[in-house]
């Protein structure tokens, strides 16, 4: 049996550009965090996924079929998936599971494919999937599939994830986004400098997400939670298309403070990896 961890991500910079061929161009700086799903792989007569959470059209099985087709593998695979990353959360739980599946199958069948070869398959599964083959801080461009690893040794920084008890559709968020035509080079450079200097106060000010305003506008409930966090003197940030919110350098006592004010949320205290 093969075991893989599938780490979640947060976005420190998400610039969304114009739409090209039905997709928005992005400049998306992401980092992996210690919250992860657990995947177990074993050979089987048929392809099968076992998961306590009912996930329609699970991307893991699509990854299996793509891997089998590409490497001419006829044996089936049983995947046992333990979901710890909440779904529809802006944390890329599905994409990281897909990348972990490619890695797991590569080991299970002794294919020894390079990261570059797995990358080609990852691109066919989804724009965020290639990032999780590297699991390092990276700027992702194009549709998100072009990966430039930029690791600033941003490790073990506490991150509090706040997930409301509802989801947001990524498709709906993008459909409601209007490109403002403003390049974010200066903001990205400011972010890089803060990461390089390990200046976490400056980093908090430099984090941006072009989808944040859209997500907050689509969900009054999310906006209310966001405003309450600001009222508690936190600096909240939306991850991806939401609705998950993250706070840098949070402590255990922050969970208690927030829980006393805000209900109907799940919280995960984790860290960057």
- Are 92 and 132 in contact by the 8 Å Cβ rule? The answer is yes
- Catalytic residues, by residue number, are 9, 128
Indicate the length of the chain as a whole number.
273
DSSP bridge pairs for 50 = 80
DSSP bridge pairs for 11 = 30
Residue 74: half-sphere exposure toward Cβ, Cα within 13 Å:
0
Distances (CA, A) of 269 to 14, 87, 88, 247, 266: 23, 17, 19, 10, 10
- Are 35 and 8 in contact by the 8 Å Cβ rule? The answer is yes
Residue 168: half-sphere exposure toward Cβ, Cα within 13 Å:
32
Structure tokens at 215: 């997500």
The pairs formed by 219-224 with CB atoms below 8 angstroms and a separation of 24 or more are 219/166, 219/168, 219/243, 221/164, 221/166, 222/164, 222/166, 222/168
């Amino acid at each position: 049996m093969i075991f893989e961890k599938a780490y979640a991500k947060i976005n420190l910079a998400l610039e969304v550009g114009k739409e090209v061929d039905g997709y928005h161009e992005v400049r998306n700086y992401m980092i992996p965090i210690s919250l992860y799903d657990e995947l177990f792989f074993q050979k089987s007569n048929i392809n099968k996924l076992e998961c306590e959470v009912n996930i329609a059209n699970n991307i893991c099985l699509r990854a299996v079929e793509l891997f089998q087709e590409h490497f001419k593998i006829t044996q089936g695979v049983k995947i046992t998936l333990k979901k710890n990353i909440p779904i529809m959360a802006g944390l890329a739980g599905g994409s990281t599971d897909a990348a972990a599946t490619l890695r797991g199958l590569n080991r299970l069948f002794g294919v020894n494919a390079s990261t570059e070869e797995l990358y080609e398959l990852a691109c066919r599964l989804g724009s965020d999937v290639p990032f999780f083959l590297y699991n390092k801080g990276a700027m992702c461009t194009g549709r998100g599939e072009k990966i430039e690893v930029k690791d600033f040794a941003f490790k073990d920084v506490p991150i509090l994830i706040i997930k409301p008890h509802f989801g947001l559709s990524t498709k709906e968020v993008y459909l409601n986004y209007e490109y403002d035509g403003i390049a974010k080079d200066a903001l990205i450079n400011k972010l890089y400098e803060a990461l390089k200097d390990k200046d976490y106060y400056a980093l908090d000010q430099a984090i941006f997400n072009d989808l944040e305003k859209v997500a907050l506008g689509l969900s009054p409930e999310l906006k209310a939670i966001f405003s309450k966090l600001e009222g508690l003197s936190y600096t909240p940030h939306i991850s991806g298309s939401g609705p998950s919110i993250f706070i840098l350098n949070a402590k255990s006592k922050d969970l208690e403070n927030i829980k006393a004010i805000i209900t109907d949320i799940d919280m995960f205290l984790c860290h960057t990896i």
